[in-house]
Amino acid sequence: MNALTPGRFALTLAPFVLFFVGVALFCPLIGSVDIDLTQALAHRHDPSASLDASVLFLTRLPRILLAALAGAALALAGAAFQALLRNPLAEPFTLGVSSGGALGAVLAIKLGLDVSLFGFSPLILFSFAGAAGTVGVVYLLARTRGVLSTSLLLLAGVTISFFFSALILLVFYLSDFTQTHRMLRWMMGGLDVIGYGEVARLTPFVLAGVVLLLAHAGALNQLSLGVEMAAARGVNVRRAQRLCYFAASLATGSVVALAGPIGFVGLIVPHTVRLLIGADHRVLLPASLLTGAGFLILCDTAARTVIAPVEIPVGILTAALGGPFFIGLLLRAKKRVRFWD
Amino acid sequence: MSRLLAENVTFAYRDAPVVDAVNLAIEPGQMVALVGPNGAGKSTLLKLLAGLLEPAGGVVVFAGRELAAWPPVELARRLAFMPQEVHFHFPFTVAQYVLMARHPYRGWSPFEDQNDLAAARAALTATGMDALAERSVLELSGGERQRATLAAALAQEPAVLLLDEPTAALDLRFQVEIYETLRRLNRERDLTVVAVTHDLNLAARFCPRLVLLAKGRIVADGGAADIFRADLIAGHYGVDVEVGMRADGVTPFLLPGVREDRR
């Protein structure tokens, strides 16, 4: 029997750190344009002066940072939601965060608003408001005597998703072709940013969620066994549930607002990591975070290179890669694990 | 000292009280069985004693302090609860599952120390789960799950252990083994045990004190001889029984529905 010691913790996470660092160092060098790294690095203080430097520092790096941030947030939130809902098939969008965000986004496009706040575009503001509103409504619906019921959360979240999907279709129906094209493109998810503005503004939201969730890894272990068990071990169930729910939702909602609903990362990454190193959330959460970041960088690199110069929206790629992978995983798991009771 | 006391405790899920003005004192070192027909309020009373439910009326006091006034972590180091059944959804190993019960001792550190490891090892040995330590909890049989959960409760190193039907899923041998383990810890380490059970004979065999609940009230409290009275059982369970005596002349036993006039 092994206890989780700092040494064992480091040893378990080491391969995941290596994977992430490797991907993050390698992917900026790949793209439709070949760049000269020495040239680029020489102009790092004034990237716009050299083509190599501007491609590396102004086009690729911001995008890779955004992919890392989004992938990390989605994978971590997915693992947290799976524990909170005690359901291995949950993911960050199960409770309607993405449909709320999408409704906000399509409304912003339909209304053609031109307001911005603290440098955020109306599209981002509206989709964040939609996601946050959904999170709040689902929370209020699922709360009984201060404790969140997992079955009520699922019912409320899924119902809200369907309701919003209907509203989204209605907005689609009332929109012209240019608008619907923009809406559809948004819903495919994409990380195509120029410069560091968005990344810098997204960081505090994701970071807050990440810190809160990592601090609650032990509590999530207990909550995954049920509310009663957690309470009997001294977990403050109400506070832990509330903090984890809002932390995971905040991270998810801010990613959705900026990059659209990028599917499957939040489902397949925690699952894969669990197969590799087990279910203990104290290692599962940080490992999922690193794997999610690396995985989304890889997907986005593929998205911008496979049929360059045309870009595939990254959301299509994660789902296209993730779908078959996950079905294979389910078929494998079906043989040895009882999935539901 | 670590006396567990229910004073005039009432609890209702809707309107009808499930636990109705119950007064009960569990003294340190006692081993008590909570028995009674289905719906008598046994599990609810146990959860009230564990602080998992808040009484609608009255108070539960542990070691001189109202349960609600205990910091949850402090309470969890002294009072452990074993639910009827734990549903697993994730592939924790048995060892991880048992070590998780050390949560109240860890504070803000995410790591386990030698004390945690020693407590978990002792708990696995006491429940005969050593060999299964690295097995995934998803692959355990019903009885193994129950023993793993008991091991976790023991690893919490409580002064008082509250168990909700600890032997419900177990065959005869493990039923006896679990109660023998509990009785041994009760004798050797002064572990206070309160177990909800439907098995009256097992309760009589291992628990010096039985508390009979019916319709949310305590209707009898004492040794097996005080509870095992044909009229008392027939009145509250609605079934005729025959009471016998084991060869030791101390422990009675119960057989249901064998009276001549029932035919």
Instruction: Please tell me if residue A2 touches chain B, with a CB cutoff of 8 Å.
Output: yes
The reply to whether B106 and B149 lie within a common domain is: yes
CA quadruple B104, B107, B108, B110: dihedral, nearest 10 = -60
Residue A116 is predicted with a pLDDT of 64
Contact A1 B121 (CB under 8 A): yes
**Residue A96, Ramachandran bin (φ over 0: left; ψ between -120 and 50: alpha; else beta):** left
Max CA distance (Å), chain B: 66
Contact A233 B116 (CB under 8 A): no
Contacts of A6 in chain B (CB under 8 A): 111
Other C-beta atoms closer than 10 Å to the C-beta of B85 total 15
Pairwise CB contact (< 8 Å): B86 & A225: yes
- Is there a domain that residue B255 lies in? yes
User: Residue A11 CA to chain centroid, in angstroms?
Assistant: 26
The pLDDT-based confidence of A210 (bands split at 50, 70, 90) is very high
Claim to verify: residue B22 and residue B97 sit in the same structural domain: no
> Nearest-CA distance from B114 to chain A in Å?
8
Length of chain A (residues): 341
Residue B83 belongs to a domain: no
Report chain A's mean pLDDT, rounded to a whole number: 88
What is the least distance, in Å, from the CA of A330 to any CA of chain B? 14
Cα–Cα distance between A286 and A211 in angstroms, integer? 10
Please give the DSSP secondary-structure letter assigned to residue B138.
G
- pLDDT of the residue at B260: 53
Are residues B98 and B202 located together in one domain of the fold?
no
Q: What tokens does A123 get?
A: 């599209």
Q: Has residue A32 got a pLDDT over 80?
A: no
- B224: three-class secondary structure by DSSP: helix
Residues pairing with B61 in the sheet: B5, B66
- Is A1 near chain B, with CB under 8 Å? yes
- b/e sequence A225-237, b meaning 16+ C-beta within 10 Å: bbbbbbbbbbbeb
Residue for token digits 């989709």? Answer: A127
Q: Write down the residue that tokens 């019916």 correspond to.
A: B214
With CA atoms as reference, report the closest residue to A225 among B178, B149, B17, B183.
B149
Helix axes A281-305, A197-215, angle to 10 degrees: 160
pLDDT in tens, A257-268: 888 889 889 998
**Whole-number Å distance between alpha carbons of B228 and A122:** 75
Q: Residue B104 domain-assigned?
A: yes
Indicate whether B58 and B172 sit together in one domain. Answer: yes
Task: Identify the residue whose tokens are 């809707």.
Answer: B14
**Hey, is the C-beta of A338 within 8 angstroms of any chain B C-beta?**
yes
Asked whether the beta carbons of residue B90 and residue A83 sit closer than 8 angstroms, the reply is: yes
CB contact A335 to B (< 8 Å): no
Which of chain A's residues have a Cβ under 8 Å away from the Cβ of B73?
234
Of B86, B103, B117, the CB nearest to A234: B103
Co-location of B201 and B215 in the same domain: yes
Contacts of B133 in chain A (CB under 8 A): 1
Cβ-nearest to B111 among A9, A222, A226: A9
Burial A286-315 (b: 16+ CB within 10 A, else e): bbbbbbbbbbbbbbbbbbbeeeeeebbbbb
Q: Is residue B125 part of a domain?
A: yes
In a domain, B33, yes or no: yes
Q: What is the DSSP letter of B262?
A: G
- Residues B100-109 have pLDDT tens digits of 999 999 877 8
Residue to test with chain A: of B90, B94, B156, B164, most A Cβ within 10 A: B90
Give the residue among B240, B242, B238, B236 at the shortest CA–CA distance from B254: B242
pTM: 0.90
- Cβ count near A32 (within 10 Å): 12
Where chain B has pLDDT below 50, the residues are 262-263
Task: Give A6-334's CATH code, choosing from 1.10.3470.10, 3.40.47.10, 2.40.37.20, 2.60.40.10.
Answer: 1.10.3470.10
* Pair A154, A87: CB distance under 8 Å: yes
Q: Report strand pairing: B65-66 vs B57-62.
A: antiparallel
Domain enclosing residue B209, as ranges: 4-78+158-262
Is the bond preceding residue A309 a cis peptide, omega within 30 degrees?
Answer: yes
CA distance A79 to chain B (A): 11
**Does the bond joining A270 to the residue before it have cis omega, within 30 degrees of 0?**
no
pLDDT at A30 over 90: no
pLDDT at A337: 56
Paired with A233 in beta bridges are none
Per-domain boundaries in chain A: 6-334
Q: Looking at chain B, which residue has its C-alpha nearest residue A237?
A: B72
Q: Which among A279, A336, A338 has the least Cβ separation from residue B90?
A: A279
Question: Does the distance separating the beta carbons of B113 and A279 come in below 8 Å?
Answer: no
Instruction: Kindly state whether residues B20 and B113 are assigned to the same domain.
Output: no
Range with lowest mean pLDDT among A82-86, A198-202, A328-332, B233-237: A328-332
Rounded Cα distance, B37 and A236, in Å: 33
CATH of the domain at B252: 3.40.50.300
Give the angle A304-A306-A311 at the CA atoms, nearest 5°.
Answer: 35
Look at phi and psi of residue A145 and say left if phi exceeds 0, alpha if psi is from -120 to 50, else beta.
Answer: left
Residues B201 and B110 in one domain: no
Residue labelled with tokens 């608008």: A179
A206 Cβ under 8 Å from any chain B Cβ:
no
Q: Which residue has the higher pLDDT, A10 or A144?
A: A10
Region at B80 (left for phi over 0; alpha for psi -120 to 50; beta for the rest): beta
Give the mean model confidence (pLDDT) for residues A164-186: 90
Q: Which amino acid is at B205?
A: R
Nearest CA in chain A to B139: A337
In the numeric block, which tokens belong to residue A157?
């979240």
What does DSSP assign to residue A311? P
pLDDT of residue B2: 83
What percent of chain A has a predicted confidence (pLDDT) above 90? 44
Band (A114; pLDDT cuts 50, 70, 90): low
- Please state, in angstroms and rounded to a whole number, the distance separating the CA atoms of residues A314 and A129: 23
On the question of pLDDT at A341 being above 50, the answer is no
**Binary contact (A224, B90; C-beta < 8 A):** yes
Contact A209, A250 (CB under 8 A): yes
Count Cβ atoms below 10 Å from residue B188 Cβ, excluding itself. 8
To 10 degrees, the CA torsion angle through A19, A22, A25, A31?
A: -90
Query: Phi-psi region for residue B64, left (φ > 0), alpha (ψ -120 to 50) or beta?
Result: left
In this complex, the residue of B80, B100, B138 whose CB is nearest that of residue A222 is B100
**Candidate from B50, B93, B110 with C-beta closest to A232:** B50
| pLDDT value for B263 | 46
Contact residues, chain B to chain A, C-beta under 8 Å: 47, 50-52, 72-77, 79-81, 83, 86-93, 95-96, 99-101, 103-104, 106, 110-114, 116-117, 120-121, 124, 133-134, 138-139, 156
Does residue B207 lie within any of the structural domains?
yes
| B149 plus B231 within the same structural domain | no
Q: How confident is the model at residue A59 (pLDDT cuts 50, 70, 90)?
A: confident
Residues B68 and B167 in one domain: yes
* Contact assignment for B73 to A5 by CB distance below 8 Å: no
Q: Do B110 and A9 touch (CB under 8 A)?
A: yes
- Name B196's bridge partners: B34, B164
Please state the ipTM of this predicted complex. Answer: 0.90
Confidence band of A118 (pLDDT split at 50, 70, 90): low
B144 and B37 fall within a common domain: no
Q: How far apart are the CA of B184 and the nearest CA of chain A, in angstroms?
A: 23
What is the total count of domains within chain B? 2
Residues B69 and B167 in one domain: yes
Element (H, E) at B81: strand B79-82
Q: Residue A275: what pLDDT?
A: 86
> From CA B28, how far away is CA B64, in angstroms rounded?
12
